[in-house]
Structure 1
Amino acid sequence: MPAPKAENRVAIPLDLPGGLRFPPDGLQVEASGRAMGVDWTLKATSPPDLPVEALTRAVQASLDAVVAQMSTWEPDADVSRFNAAPAGTWRPAPEDFAEVLACALDMAQLSDGAFDPTIGRLTDLWGFGPPGPVAGPPAAAALEAARALSGWRRLEFDVKARRIRQPGGLALDFSGIAKGYGVDAAAEALGRLGLAHFLLEVGGELRGEGVKPDGSPWWVALEHLPGEAANQAPIVVALCGASVATSGDYRRYMLHEGQRLAHTIDPRTGRPSESGVACASVVHPQCMRADAWCTLLSVLEPEEGLALCHARQIAARLLVRTKRGLEERLSPAFQALLEEP
């Protein structure tokens, strides 16, 4: 199995499939596009009778469907219609919408509200939502009013009937999970077309299936930030039937009086996260789950987040801001990926 350069640290999933030395048959193709406000790219070994145009359409249609249901930037999206619905109104939840909501509520419960898909009012108030940037932090009264309207326990979700009840003023925000779901949905669409070997990236979230043309895994490098220890080797992950997602406070933030205010809101305080986590990366079979875990780990204090990862066997890598600079923290499940078999 060809491997990355020796100076890299190599993370290999424990359930990596066998037979990776045998290159797949087919044509090497690439496709790209734009959706969900980000660029997407696809590298694949495609059967000769499967045109690249069909692959492009499959990915684009999958991502566009997620936008149509879950983007608060689209006034006619299902999520926007729910957010604008009168108090007491029941709204239908399409199948994809319901799947993401169920996962989001599960993450809210296991984290005791550190992940919460109902903080849309707070996201807007801090200038990270559709209304656009704001000049500075909100007034205390406005912050408390938005917090009062938020809270995942206020939401009624009739799973069997696939419908949700608007309690009044509650605003869903799937920005911490929907992009990962889009990756999964697009990957499944490609699989239905018969594509078995590909690497799909949507705005920094990745999923790999099968192997590269030379028979080796899809190698993906985790982000290396300025300020990391110079003697700390970069990490590359083998993605074969796995996904990796990354979230960081260096991507979107507000500068106020010289202070960086992260775009990730802590639902428990209603304010930008002050956890000190600069970057969180998670390897998981589902990109949706990886995406949500990254959001959650950006909110929790590092040790609290790693303890939760340990309890749930989540492979996570954190870069934490300290007085000594950026420090790397690994969950036991991630450390196991780096250990020699």
Structure 2
Amino acid sequence: MRGIWLCMALLALAGCGERVERFGGPTMGSSYSVQYLPTAKSPSPQRLQAEVETILGELDRQFSTYRDDSEVSRFNDLPAGACQAMPADLIALLQYGDELSSASDGAFDLTVEPLMNLWGFGPQSREERVPAETDLIRERARVGYRHVRVDGSLVCKDVAAQLDFDSIVAGYAVDRVSQRLGELGLKDYLVEITGELKAVGHKADGSPWRVALEVPSGERERTVERSLDVDGYGVSTSGDYRNYFEEGGQRYSHTFDARTGTPVRHKLAAVTVVDRSTLHADGLSTLLMVLGPDEGFRYAEQQGLAAYFVMHEGQAFSTRVTPRFAELFPDAQRR
């Protein structure tokens, strides 16, 4: 599902050299793909695919909210005051989520699943609708990153909180897969998982991997706005363009501000972040999307982030980049 939520698709523009190998498949409710240049020491494509899918299967068993037997689903079913032993990956992502929450004064939050379900965007949703105020008050009482704490290998909660890692787990998966490919001897590859990606090295013709950033151009349509030469960076986009509903003339997106308990209502349509860590790019793109075009841009500038903003301007769109983005991609090609 997460790949469907991206407002701007990130498309790898691969070369046509015969040496490029490719494989992919379904994962996390969407799909993944790997493109790479084999070396004399690299394993067979079958071995590489098995290695990648082992990592993805492991993460799915920990983080999927669509599996009743996943670690996070079992935690979400626990009552207030309960604790559960968790694997190191999940604890590390929870702690990173807490860092983002603290940095944004609670705008970013991994405990918003009750709100997503209430508004019709979560794994336990029934319909997309504006909830009654009494229901909103009830569910907001279960939301807030300070209600969940880490105690050694245990994760505990003081209310019936529910975790959802969709805003960061795909980026983490890209980093895990990328690291493993490097350990197996690959030097030139591109990994994409549910729209998050990382490119390392070059294509068969020696040119960099090129990533096309698409922007909205109409009702749930997209066009390529510019392309980036990427080497050693992760790229992540968050947006409201493809997953929303309208009621009473008001547009409601799937991106929630945990401070208000409601979908964001600013004019930021999408934001792309480029970072050495795809995990960081993934989480930061969500954080900036929640903060919006003004507060988010100020935050990105202060933190030195490479970010690309797309704003609603009536029936059209405008774009804006941070100084760090312009520094990394001074020759970014426009269509």
Return the TM-score normalized by structure 1: 0.86
Matched, 1:30 2:28: no
Choose which of 244, 250, 264 in structure 1 pairs with 2:235. Answer: 244
Choose which of 196, 207, 216 in structure 2 pairs with 1:216. Answer: 207
Following superposition of structure 1 onto structure 2, how do residues 179-328 of structure 1 map, counting pairs within 5 Å?
179-226=170-217, 234-323=225-314, 325-328=316-319
Residue of structure 2 in register with 1:106 after alignment: 99
Residue of structure 2 in register with 1:52 after alignment: 45
- CA offsets per residue over residues 260-288 of structure 1, 9 Å max, x none? 31111111111111122111111011111
Choose which of 69, 77, 94 in structure 1 pairs with 2:87. Answer: 94
Matched, 1:175 2:166: yes
Q: 1:301 offset after TM fit, Å?
A: 2.5
- The alignment partner of 1:293 has SS state of helix
Residues of 2 paired with 1:199 and 1:172: CA distance?
Answer: 30
Q: 1:206 offset after TM fit, Å?
A: 0.9
- CA offsets per residue over residues 67-98 of structure 1, 9 Å max, x none? 11111111111111111113222211211111
Following superposition of structure 1 onto structure 2, how do residues 6-155 of structure 1 map, counting pairs within 5 Å?
27-48=19-40, 50-155=43-148
Q: 1:67 to 1:337 in 2, by over 3 A?
A: same
Contact 2:81/2:158 (CA < 8 Å) preserved in 1? yes
Q: 1:326 to 1:194 in 2, by over 3 A?
A: same
Structure 2 portions without partners, runs of 5+: 1-17
Letter in 2 for 1:30: R
- The alignment partner of 1:211 has SS state of coil
Aligned-pair RMSD on alpha carbons? 2.3
Q: 1:324 to 1:175 in 2, by over 3 A?
A: same
Q: 1:164 offset after TM fit, Å?
A: 1.1
Return the TM-score normalized by structure 2: 0.88
Residues of 1 paired with 2:314 and 2:79: CA distance?
Answer: 48
Contact 1:150/1:170 (CA < 8 Å) preserved in 2? yes
Structure 1 portions without partners, runs of 5+: 1-25
Contact 1:275/1:298 (CA < 8 Å) preserved in 2? no
Letter in 2 for 1:172: L
Letter in 1 for 2:303: R
Residues of 1 paired with 2:184 and 2:248: CA distance?
Answer: 52
Q: 1:51 offset after TM fit, Å?
A: 0.8
The 4+ residue runs of structure 1 with deviation greater than 4 A are none
Residues of 2 paired with 1:147 and 1:238: CA distance?
Answer: 42
Residues of 1 paired with 2:226 and 2:37: CA distance?
Answer: 25
Contact 2:288/2:300 (CA < 8 Å) preserved in 1? no
Q: Percent identity?
A: 36
Q: 1:325 offset after TM fit, Å?
A: 2.6
